[in-house]
Amino acid sequence: MNKKLIPFLLGASLFAHAAWAEGDIKGTWNVTKMEPAPWLAVKPDSSAYYAEELEDGIVVFGDDKVTSPITWMGCKKPKYETASVPFNSLFEGGLEDKERGLTNTAELAHKLGFTKEPVTSVTPSCSELTYHFADDNTLLFALDNVIYTLTRVKP
């Protein structure tokens, strides 16, 4: 093998591993926080609906299935789609509503715990929900005007 090619292949291998680890959703996650979505502040005609079954709930993302306290959030044989999204695309663009005064998506994203842009986001093929990584061990998703925070359970 060409000796000049070895450092390149080693670097490419490390890069691929780092990229895979950043969006690695697989594992057990605990729902640790539920809070009203920021866009409710400018939408007085809307309200938050808290899914009580998710309070302190466990969500497991596996190779062969996703399990959750809410059955429709789970499925068998999921495929995980990963994307990098800007702050203004988090929660289907919910952090930005210029007509109602939500213009500083970075500020709202930072308040929710996101520190860098773009944000790695994962959508299981069997769900309408997209999970956004605030960091390697913290996921956030929105459901019915509530932001749920999940924390990775350490093995």
pLDDT tens digit string along 69-89? 999 999 999 999 999 999 999
Mean of pLDDT values over 23-42 = 94
Q: Given pLDDT bands bounded at 50, 70 and 90, which one contains residue 11?
A: very low
Query: Where do the structural domains in the chain lie, given as residue ranges?
Result: 25-152
- Alpha-carbon distance of 6 to 53, in angstroms, equals 52
Contacts of 102 (CB under 8 A, 6+ apart): 38, 39, 42, 95, 96, 108
For residue 68 the two structure tokens come to: 């959750």
Distance CA 50, CA 14 (A): 41
Contact yes or no for 35/151 (Cβ under 8 A): no
Average pLDDT, the chain: 86
The CA dihedral of 59, 60, 65, 69, to the nearest 10 degrees, is: -30
The predicted model scores a pTM of: 0.83
Residue-level pLDDT at 148: 98
Whose CA is closest to 147, among 28, 33, 25, 69?
33
**Contact predicate 63/26, CB 8 Å:** yes
3-class DSSP state of 76: strand
8 vs 105, which has greater pLDDT? 105
